Each structure stands twice: as structure tokens, then as C-alpha cells.
């Protein structure tokens, strides 16, 4: 996409190379003292460079889970306390994302959050949605599942200029990731929302690779909805995600959620005996389940207090970008290229793809005790190794 659609607004760097001296390490952004909280990376000769898959758990989250388990076996009635912790986690999450607490609902994962919104948009046969051709399959398949209802799914070439030539009067939504899962491109979500939300086009964003590694302001971006899991940058166990919906968008959605349980009912009888007089919540609460992952929300609270309140998300992003700077500086003499844009504002702060084409690299890494995963050929350039 053109720079106009890949420059992430907000607190991220301006249009400077990701190898610019201003992004080099400095004492102010040094968070190395927190390394001791992650035993997996404090071992001798251990370097963890697969954060895109799932980062190792830190001791704060581990301790919170231990407490949860202790309460589960020692306390007669721990659930009310866990539910209170879930509310605190939701409040911390809303503060991090700069949105109202009631505009967020917990889900199982990114896929569930995306699907809940995708299946809540009313449309007539012949309507279309736009996606990048390299979008994550969980996002794409959610839309493709609506093709039988005659929704057209238009997949745009990643190297295209903008979405503009493909948006027409039948376009109901644009779906994209804030950070692409393969190229690690960081898209200009706010610019896309500014360009198309006013034309009645929803923007659904997958922020799974963005949460936990940089500041996020969903209200400023102007998205219709955003979904993510908490097991990547937030370092929680799998099984917990969240869905944000702009309160102004909610009245435009179908009144009945795609999945209906007691958690969606605003007038749930105190007897818990279902009544045919059904009134759904007028907030995203209508998408919630009463039985959320309470061990997950316990972990999330501990994670957010560490990342947002103690360390600071802005500091985390700057530290990660300084690591990218050091990586690029070390690779340059070896002639190893980092794939993607040279601009920091168009790159994820923590994910770097190296163009290591020769098959001997795989053997070298394995012999050196470095775990790697192999990517499929991308953009016709051969094999890329994700580290």
C-alpha cells in the first residue's frame, strides 16, 4: 500500500527510517531490568525471537494464575472475586485502548470477535467488503462465510495504491489488520477510517499483533470495531480475547447478536428462567457470554498493570524499535536484508522478517540451537525465515 495508507498515526514514529539514530537504544527507554521477570530468556545463551507466535509468560502473570489456582482449591466461593477481577481487567483494557469500558466485551479470541461483528452488519445481496490479499485467514474466512448470502469479498493487491478505486456504493466494510501477520506492515488505520467511515463504510480491524507492544487509541483511529486475542503482546494464556465496537455504530447493527446466551439479555429474570419477552443490551454486552475465561481475565489484569502502569506502553514501543535498530545495524555488514518498508512508521515495532534465501540457513540455525519457523514464499522473492 502507499505511504498514505501505511503510516500509523498517534504516538508512533514519524516518517523516518527504522535505522535512524533517534531510534537507537537509550537509558530512558531501557527496560532490561524487567528481563528477570521472564525466566525463559534469562537462561544462558537463550534468545527468544518468536514474539509473533506467542511470547513467553512473565512471572507477574504466572503469580496471578497461581493465586487463582490456590483460590480454586482452597476457597469455598471464589467466583465473585474472580468476576470482580474481570471487571478490573476490562477497565484497565479500556484505559489502554482509550475507549469506554462498556464498549468492550470479552470473547474467546480474535476470530470470535471478528465474526461477531461480521455477522452483525446488515446488508443486501450484492454488497461487498474489501480486504488486502495478504490478510490473515481468520479474518478472510469470516467474510467468505457470508458469500452464500451473496456478499462479494474483494481482495485487493497488497502493492496497490489505496482502497479508493475499489470502494463503491455497495461497499459495506473494509477489513484489515493494524499490523499484517506476514509482512509486518503497519497500516494507517486512522487514515483509512478518515477516508471511508464518512461514506458509510465500516472499518473492522484486527489488532492482535498490535496490542501489548505499542500505544493504541481506538477512539482517535475512528474504527467501527476492533478484535484481538490476549495471548500475543499481552502475554496471557490462550482462550481470552476482546471485541470493541464504537458506541455510535451499535445502533446500525442487527439487533439480535449472532450468538445468543443469557449474557446478552438485558432483562434476564432473577429466577434465571428464560422469558419470551427478550430485550438485548444496547451496548456490546449483548455479545458477551456469562462464562468467560476468568483465569484469562486474572492474567490480563496482571499483564496490563505491568505493561501499562509500571513500564509504560510508549516506553515499550521505543525499546522494541531500538532492538530493531540494533538488529539492522548488526545485519548490514552480513549483507542480510530486512524485508519491507524502510520507514519506522510503516513497520511493526517488534516484528522483523529477514530475507534468508539460501537453504543452508535452516541447518545453521538448528545447529546453533535457534528455533525458527519457515514462511511460505512471499511476493515471489523465495523463502523468508521468520525469527
State mean pLDDT over 266-271: 94
Cα pseudo-dihedral 55, 60, 64, 66, rounded to 10? 80
Complete domains list, the chain, with CATH: 3-54+312-386 (no CATH), 62-308 (3.40.640.10)
Distance CA 15, CA 145 (A): 38
Distance CA 32, CA 148 (A): 52
pLDDT tens track for 207-261:
999 999 999 999 999 999 999 999 999 999 999 999 999 999 999 999 999 999 9
pLDDT band at 74; cut points 50, 70, 90: very high
Residue 383 pLDDT more than 70?
A: no
pLDDT band at 357; cut points 50, 70, 90: confident
CB neighbours of residue 159 within 10 Å: 11
* Predicted pLDDT at 60: 98
* Predicted pLDDT at 375: 52
* Predicted pLDDT at 14: 63
Distance CA 300, CA 234 (A): 7
C-alpha closest to that of 266 among 102, 70, 90, 33: 102
23 Cβ neighbours under 8 A, 6+ residues apart = 13, 16, 318, 321, 322, 324, 325, 344
Is residue 92 within 8 Å of residue 301, measured between CB atoms?
Answer: yes
Query: How much is the CA Rg of the chain, to the nearest whole Å?
Result: 22
Enter the pTM of the model: 0.90
Residue 13 pLDDT more than 80?
A: no
Tell me the percentage of the chain whose pLDDT exceeds 70: 89
170 secondary structure, DSSP code: T
Q: Is 76 buried (19+), middle (13-18) or exposed (0-12) by CB count in 10 A?
A: exposed
* Predicted pLDDT at 340: 85
* Predicted pLDDT at 203: 98
Is residue 176 within 8 Å of residue 223, measured between CB atoms?
Answer: no
* Predicted pLDDT at 371: 63
Pairing of strands 171-177, 128-132: parallel
Q: Strand, helix or coil at 206?
A: strand
State mean pLDDT over 40-57: 76
State mean pLDDT over 155-167: 80
Residue 153 pLDDT more than 90?
A: yes
Lowest mean pLDDT among 96-100, 295-299, 378-382: 378-382
pLDDT band at 181; cut points 50, 70, 90: confident
State mean pLDDT over 130-155: 96
Distance CA 87, CA 43 (A): 36
C-alpha closest to that of 104 among 116, 267, 298: 116
Is residue 86 within 8 Å of residue 224, measured between CB atoms?
Answer: no
Residue 3 pLDDT more than 80?
A: no
**What are the grid coordinates assigned to 217, written together?**
487509541
Lowest mean pLDDT among 114-118, 157-161, 295-299: 157-161
* Predicted pLDDT at 162: 78
State mean pLDDT over 19-28: 88
DSSP string, 93-152: HHHHHTS-GGGEEEESSHHHHHHHHHTTS---TT-EEEEETT--HHHHHHHHTTGGGT-E
* Predicted pLDDT at 378: 45
Distance CA 77, CA 74 (A): 9
Residue 105 pLDDT more than 60?
A: yes
State mean pLDDT over 326-332: 92
Mean pLDDT of the chain: 89
Distance CA 204, CA 171 (A): 13
Amino acid at each position: 500500500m502507499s505511504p498514505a495508507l501505511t503510516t500509523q498515526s498517534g504516538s508512533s514514529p514519524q516518517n523516518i527510517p527504522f535505522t535512524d539514530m533517534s531510534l537507537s537504544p537509550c537509558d530512558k527507554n531501557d527496560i532490561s531490568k524487567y528481563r528477570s521477570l521472564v525466566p525463559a530468556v534469562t537462561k544462558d545463551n537463550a534468545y527468544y525471537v518468536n514474539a509473533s507466535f506467542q511470547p513467553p509468560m512473565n512471572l507477574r502473570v504466572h503469580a496471578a494464575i497461581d493465586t487463582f489456582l490456590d483460590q480454586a482449591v482452597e476457597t469455598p466461593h471464589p467466583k465473585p472475586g474472580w468476576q470482580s477481577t474481570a471487571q478490573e481487567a476490562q477497565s484497565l483494557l479500556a484505559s489502554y485502548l482509550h475507549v469506554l469500558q462498556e464498549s468492550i466485551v470479552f470473547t474467546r479470541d480474535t476470530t470470535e470477535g471478528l465474526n461477531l461483528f461480521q455477522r452483525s452488519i446488515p446488508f443486501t445481496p450484492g454488497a461487498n467488503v474489501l480486504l488486502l490479499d495478504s490478510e490473515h485467514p481468520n479474518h478472510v474466512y469470516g467474510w467468505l462465510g457470508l458469500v452464500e448470502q451473496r456478499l462479494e469479498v474483494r481482495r485487493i493487491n497488497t502493492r496497490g495504491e489505496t482502497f479508493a478505486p475499489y470502494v463503491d456504493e455497495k461497499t459495506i466494510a473494509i477489513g484489515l489488520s493494524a499490523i499484517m501477520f506476514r509482512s509486518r506492515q503497519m497500516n494507517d488505520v486512522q487514515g483509512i477510517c478518515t477516508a471511508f467511515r464518512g461514506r458509510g463504510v465500516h472499518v473492522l480491524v484486527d489488532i492482535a499483533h498490535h496490542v501489548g507492544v505499542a500505544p493504541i487509541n481506538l477512539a482517535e483511529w475512528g474504527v467501527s470495531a476492533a478484535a484481538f486475542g490476549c495471548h500475543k503482546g499481552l502475554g496471557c494464556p490462550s482462550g481470552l480475547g476482546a471485541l470493541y465496537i464504537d458506541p455510535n455504530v451499535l445502533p446500525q447493527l442487527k439487533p439480535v447478536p449472532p450468538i445468543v446466551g443469557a449474557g446478552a439479555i438485558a432483562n434476564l429474570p432473577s429466577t434465571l428462567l428464560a422469558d419470551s419477552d427478550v430485550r438485548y443490551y444496547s451496548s456490546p454486552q449483548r455479545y458477551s457470554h456469562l462464562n468467560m475465561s476468568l483465569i484469562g481475565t486474572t492474567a490480563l489484569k496482571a499483564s496490563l498493570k505491568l505493561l501499562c502502569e509500571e513500564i509504560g506502553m510508549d516506553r515499550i514501543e521505543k525499546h522494541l524499535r531500538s532492538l530493531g535498530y540494533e538488529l539492522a545495524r548488526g545485519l548490514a555488514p552480513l549483507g542480510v536484508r530486512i524485508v519491507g518498508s524502510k520507514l519506522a512508521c510503516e513497520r511493526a515495532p517488534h516484528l522483523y522478517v529477514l530475507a534468508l534465501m539460501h537453504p543452508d540457513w535452516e541447518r545453521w540455525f538448528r545447529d546453533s540451537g535457534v528455533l525458527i519457523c519457515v514462511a511460505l514464499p512471499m511476493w515471489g522473492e523465495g523463502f523468508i525465515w521468520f525469527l
